[in-house]
Amino acid sequence: MLDETNEIHPLFAGAPQSTEFKKLRKRIVRMTREAIDQYGMVEPTAEGAPKPKWLVCLSGGKDSYTLLAVLHELQWRGLLPVELLACNLDQGQPNFPATVLPEFLEKMGVPHRIEYQDTYSIVMDKIPAGRTFCALCSRLRRGNLYRIAREEGCSAVVLGHHRDDILETFFMNLFHGGRLATMPPKLVNEEGDLFLYRPLAHVAESDCERFATAMNYPIIPCDLCGSQDGLQRQQVKAILDGWETNSPGRRQVMFRALMNARPSHLLDPNLFDFTGLMRNVEGTKQEQF
């Protein structure tokens, strides 16, 4: 259905015409649709009611550009009945190219909001030298995005986390947090008034990188957390890279495992009633003598 018409959203203008890129694009679109459907990200609405509105967070990285393009492609094709509002939160990082995203979004005709909040100074003031910035930076960013979503009448905040982000978070929790947990594709915030979605949950990071590079989107690197060496996430990524090199496809196998949990074969009594597990004594066959 995606190729039945030559009309395209401006975000796909100038896309490579190679067979390889077309396969890449269709794979990303298909996997995004699967995640949206599988996790029920589109809220049912009454006939005549306004469409749900999503705040699509755009950092300027490869993942968020991929997210923005694919969601607008699905909307353009009539496959995503929601209103989309792109949002960039300028966190006051030094040398951040503040004009890049507004100019890009204007050129592409994408509805957007640019918000400036100097969370960078707060992070630098609160975090001691040598410690990682990610936790506080993320918390401050998330709080501002929830506020913006409410101000704009959005029902969901949409993030560009992909399959590899989810896997890395799982192993970080396993190695450092002592729990089996990761970033879910869909959750409700603590206040209970907003959804948080990750439509790229099934998409590989390498596909996002290849897509954004092929489209020549103006990538903006993160100079805050991205400038720190020795982060736990980088260590986990290196481990996963090694496993993938030695056994290609290992990442996808591990990701499928996250979708195939068996509580009765784990050790958490809050997930499975081990004490209530009984033998079927009455159904036991009796020996015949």
C-alpha–C-alpha distance, residues 157 and 191, integer Å: 13
Residue 208 assigned as binding residue: no
Buried b (16+ CB within 10 A) or exposed e, 32-59: bbebbeebebbeeeeeeeeebbbbbbbb
Residue 238: Cβ within 10 Å count: 10
- Sorted by sequence, the CB contacts under 8 Å of residue 251 that are 6+ apart come out as 163, 164, 167, 204, 240, 243, 244
Residue 222 assigned as binding residue: no
DSSP character string of 161-208: --HHHHHHHHHHIIIIISS-----SEEE-TTSS-EEE-TTTTS-HHHH
**Looking at this protein, which amino acid is placed at residue 213?**
T
Residue 61 vs residues 75, 121, 206, 222: alpha-carbon distances, Å: 21, 21, 13, 8
Element (H, E) at 86: strand 83-90
C-alpha–C-alpha distance, residues 76 and 89, integer Å: 25
- Pairing outcome for strands 195-197 and 186-188: antiparallel
Annotated binding site: 134, 137, 225
Annotated binding site for [4Fe-4S] cluster: 134, 137, 225
